[in-house]
Amino acid sequence: MAKDKKQPRPKAETPKGFRDYFGSDVTERKRMLDRIAEVYHRHGFDPLETSAVETVEALGKFLPDVDRPNAGVFAWQEEAVPGGGTAGDWLALRYDLTAPLARVAAQYRNDLPSPYRRYAMGPVWRNEKPGPGRFRQFYQCDADTVGSGSVAADAEICAMLADALEAVGIARGDYLVRINNRKVLNGVLEAALVDFDQLNAEPGTMLDAMRQGLQVNNQGKALAISDAVLRTIDKFDKVGRDGVLALLTTGRRDESGAQIEGVGLSEAQAAPVLAFLTSKGADNAATLDKLRAAVGASQTGAEGVDELAQMAGLLSAMGVAEDRAVIDPSVVRGLGYYTGPVFEAELTFVILDEKGRRRQFGSVAGGGRYDGLVERFTGQKVPATGVSIGVDRLLAALRAKGLAGDEAAGPVVVTVMDRDRMADYQAMAADLRAAGIRAEVYLGNPKNFGNQLKYADRRGAPVAIIQGQDEAARGVVQVKDLILGARIAADATLDEWKSQPAQTEVTRTDLVAEVRRILG
C-alpha cells in the first residue's frame, strides 16, 4: 500500500483584504474609542453591542444585491432542519452597525425608552474586492437617536461630534462640522423641475431616455430626474461649478477625453441647483438668506432652511460656535440616502500625501437624518438621526498630527540575574503593578544580559530593574532609565553623560518611588 502523501504545511499569511493589529495599533485605537465613548456617555447615550451575525433578511436594503444574498457580505445558509425538507436561513456577518440597530429598535421597541439613544463600536465585514487602503474588515463607531423627529436631536449629534473630535486631541481650528439639509435640495429640485413634461429634453439625452422608459406619473419621473441630479451634484467637490453645469446640461469630457453624458436640463433649469451649491455665505445668517432665495416658493425647501436655522440656534446655545460647526450647502455626499439634516466632520489641517504633495486631510465622519430605519420591521415610520466616525481615518489623522503615541509605552522590565531568585523578581514586578505601573519579569534565557536589554528595547520599556547577588545582599536595586539612556547615547557630551546618569541605585523599599519619579 502506498504511503499517504504528507500534508503540506499551511501558509502563515493573512487572508487578502484582512490585516493583523499589534500592540500599539490596538492600544491607540482603544484609547481613542474610550475617549469618544466618554463624550457619548456624558451626552446620555447608552452603549449597545449586537451580534456580529445577522439574518440576511434583517440586513435588507443595506445589502448591495438582495437577489444574491452572499453578494457584498460574508454569508452562508444554515442546514435544513432535520425532517423539514427546506434549507435554513441565510446568515451574514454584519455589513455595518446601522442594520443591527434597526433590528434591535424593532425587536425591543416595547422595552427600550423612546427616543432611544445608543452608541456602538466594533468591526464590520464586507465581501468586496480589496485594494490599497480598502479592507474587508474594519471598525466603525456610530451614535444614533431613534424615535425623535426634532432637529434638536440632529443638533445634539453635531455638538457631540465636535466634542468627540476635541476629546481625542483634534484642536479647534483643525476641524469643522459642516451641515446641510436634504429638504433644501428637494426644494431646489422642485424649483428646477416644476413641470416635468415641460422639460426640453433633446432626443438621445439621459432626460429623454427617462421620459420614454418611465411609464409612471409626473411625480415618479421627477424623482428619477432628481436621482440623476443628485448623482451629478455629488461630483461638485471634484469638478466644481462649471463641471456640474456641464453634467446637468449637455455633458462634459473627463480628463481622459471620454464624453460623459449630461442629464439634459437647460441652463435655466440648472440655475437653482447651482445657486444652491454656491450659496455659502460669510456666516450662517448670510448662507440661510441665500438658501431661501435658492428654494424659491418651494414649501419643502423653506422647511429645510427653517430646520437649518433652528440647528444653528441650538448649536449656538450649546456653545458650539461657527468655527466648530457651520451651515454649508456644499455638503452633498449622502443626500441620496438622508431625508433631512446631513453633516460631515472635515479635518482642515494640511498633510503630505504619499507623493509628498500638500493636501487637506479631509472627512473623517458623516451622518444625518434618515427615515425607514425600523419601518421595514414594524410598518411604522420611526425617525432617526446619527453619525458614523471612520475609526481608521481618524486614527490616521491623529498619527499625522503626532497625537496617537502610546502614552503608556511598554512595561517596566525586571531583569533576571539569578534563576534561583525568580520569586524576588516576581515580587518586584508585583509591587510595581500594585502601584498602577505596568511591569513584567523577563522570562527568556537569562544567561546573556545584553539580550535582556534588547528585549526591553523591543518592548518599548521605559525602565529596566537590575538586581544581582551583590545588590540583593545590600538590599538595593539598580534602576535603569532606558529612555534617558538612549537620549544621552545619541546626543549628550561626556560631561552631560556624567551629570545625567541613566542608571541609579536605590534601596529595595524605594523601588516604586524611583520608578514613579522616572515615569513622571
Instruction: Render pLDDT for 449-484 as a digit per residue (tens, 0 to 9).
Output: 889 989 998 888 999 999 999 999 999 999 999 887
In 3D, which of 412, 464, 459, 483 has the Cα closest to residue 22? 459
**CA pair distance 264, 246, nearest whole angstrom:** 9
- Would you state the pLDDT for residue 69? 54
412-519, what's its fold?
A: Rossmann fold (3.40.50)
Cα distances from 102 to residues 11, 161, 377, in angstroms, run: 40, 22, 8
**CA pair distance 160, 113, nearest whole angstrom:** 20
Give the residue-averaged pLDDT of 377-385. 90
Helices (H), 214-324: 218-233, 236-248, 267-277, 284-295, 299-317
What count of Cα atoms within 13 Å lies in the side-chain half-sphere of residue 405?
7
Burial (Cβ within 10 Å: 0-12, 13-18, ≥19) of residue 211: middle
Q: Give the neighbor-by-neighbor strand order of the sheet with 53-55.
A: 53-55, 90-93, 75-77
**CA pair distance 496, 488, nearest whole angstrom:** 8
Binding site for L-histidine, by residue number, is: 96-98, 126, 140, 144, 333, 337-338
| Mean pLDDT computed over every residue of the chain | 84
- Considering only 93-97, 124-128, 202-206, which range has the smallest mean pLDDT? 202-206
- Would you state the pLDDT for residue 489? 54
**CA pair distance 66, 99, nearest whole angstrom:** 14
- Would you state the pLDDT for residue 53? 94
- Would you state the pLDDT for residue 24? 84
- Would you state the pLDDT for residue 407? 52
Q: How many CB atoms lie within 10 A of CB 144?
A: 27
Torsion of CA 262, 265, 267, 268, to 10 degrees: -170
Q: How many CB atoms lie within 10 A of CB 347?
A: 24
Residue 487's pLDDT band, with cuts at 50, 70 and 90, is low
Domain locations in the chain as residue ranges = 28-49+94-120+141-196+218-401, 412-519
Q: Is the entire prediction scored with pTM above 0.85?
A: no
Question: How many Å is the maximal CA-CA distance in the chain?
Answer: 100
Per-residue pLDDT tens over the stretch 43-81: 999 999 999 999 888 887 545 554 555 678 888 888 876
Binding site, by residue number, is: 96-98, 126, 140, 144, 333, 337-338
- Would you state the pLDDT for residue 195? 44
- Those residues whose C-beta lies under 8 Å from the C-beta of residue 485, and which sit 6 or more positions away, are 502, 503
In CATH, the number for domain 28-49+94-120+141-196+218-401 is: 3.30.930.10
- Would you state the pLDDT for residue 208? 45
- Would you state the pLDDT for residue 247? 85
For the cut 50, the answer to whether the pLDDT of residue 278 exceeds it is yes
H or E element, residue 211: helix 206-213
What angle do helix axes 218-233 and 206-213 make, rounded to 10 degrees? 150
**For the chain, counts of helices (H) and of strands (E):** 19, 18
In 3D, which of 291, 288, 299, 298 has the Cα closest to residue 322? 288
Q: What percent of the chain has pLDDT over 70?
A: 84
User: Which residue's entry shows cell 450649546?
Assistant: 318
- Considering only 266-270, 290-294, 306-310, 428-432, which range has the smallest mean pLDDT? 266-270
Higher model confidence: residue 84 or residue 514? 514
Cα distances from 261 to residues 167, 216, 232, 265, in angstroms, run: 46, 24, 11, 12
